């Protein structure tokens, strides 16, 4: 599909869309600053968000957290097994 066809398809889909939240999300995406912007996402966080992230990072450094890859491995195993049991 060439770019013009993709654009027309997007216009058609958006025109037919009734989901206000989805329309708002698309609008936000289209109106956000360019990806080449020099603004760092960190600078757009409020103070509480920044502090929460710093606390979480410190907790991980102190060994109080569970690494992401361990959590993913655990739940991937669990839900793969559940999925296989439901299919049989």
**pTM recorded for the entire structure:** 0.42
CA 59 – CA 65 distance, rounded (Å): 6
Tokens of 22: 């989805």
With contact defined as beta carbons under 8 Å apart, do 59 and 65 qualify? yes
Per-domain residue ranges of the chain: 1-32, 39-83
Q: pLDDT tens digit string along 73-85?
A: 999 988 887 777 7
CA 48 – CA 76 distance, rounded (Å)? 32
- Render pLDDT for 6-47 as a digit per residue (tens, 0 to 9): 999 999 999 999 999 999 999 888 887 655 567 788 888 999
């Amino acid at each position: 599909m060439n770019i013009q066809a993709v654009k027309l398809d997007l216009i058609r889909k958006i025109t037919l869309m009734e989901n206000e939240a989805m329309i708002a999300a698309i609008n936000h995406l289209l109106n956000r600053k360019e990806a080449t912007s020099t603004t760092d996402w960190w600078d757009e966080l409020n103070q509480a968000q920044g502090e929460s992230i710093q606390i979480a990072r410190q907790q991980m450094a102190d060994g109080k957290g569970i690494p992401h890859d361990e959590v993913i491995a655990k739940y991937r195993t669990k839900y793969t097994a559940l999925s296989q049991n439901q299919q049989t």
